[in-house]
Amino acid sequence: MNALKETHFQFKNQTGFYRGKVRDVYFFGDRMAIVASDRISAFDVILPQPIPYKGQVLNQIAARFLELTSNIVPNWLLQVPDPNVSIGFRCEPYPVEMVVRGYLAGHAWRQYKAGKRELCGEKLPDGLKENDKLPFPIITPTTKAKEGHDEDISRTDIIARGLVPAADYKKMEEFSLALFERGTKLARERNLILVDTKYEFGRLDSRIYLIDEVHTPDSSRYFYLSEYEERHTAGLPQKHLSKEFVREWLISNGFQGQEGQQVPEMTDERVEIISNRYIELYEQVIGQRFVKSETSAMNTRIEKSIAACLNGL
Tell which wins on pLDDT, 231 or 248: 231
Which are the contacts of 161, defined by CB distance < 8 A and separation ≥ 6?
none
Res 148 pLDDT > 60 = no
DSSP code string of 162-178? TSS-HHHHHHHHHHHHH
Query: What band does 79 get if pLDDT is binned at 50, 70 and 90?
Result: very high
Give the integer Cα–Cα distance in Å for 181 and 109. 21
Strand partners, 199: 98
Work out the mean pLDDT of the chain and round it to a whole number. 94
- The three-class DSSP label of residue 65 is helix
pLDDT of the residue at 71: 97
CA angle 121, 241, 259 (to 5 degrees): 60
Residue 34 identity (one-letter amino acid): I
β-pairing, 122-123 with 92-93?
A: unpaired
pLDDT of the residue at 247: 87
Res 239 pLDDT > 60 = yes
Task: At 131, give phi and psi (nearest 5°).
Answer: 70, 10
* Residue among 225, 226, 152 at smallest CA distance from 194: 225
Which are the contacts of 143, defined by CB distance < 8 A and separation ≥ 6?
95, 96, 97, 150, 151, 153, 163
Give the integer Cα–Cα distance in Å for 217 and 224. 14
Predicted structure pTM score: 0.89
Counting every residue written for the chain, the total comes to 313
- Domains of the chain as residue ranges with CATH: 93-242 (3.30.470.20)
Task: At 129, give phi and psi (nearest 5°).
Answer: -115, 160
- The three-class DSSP label of residue 186 is helix
pLDDT of the residue at 146: 62
Give the integer Cα–Cα distance in Å for 55 and 63. 12
CB count within 10 Å of CB 32 equals: 21
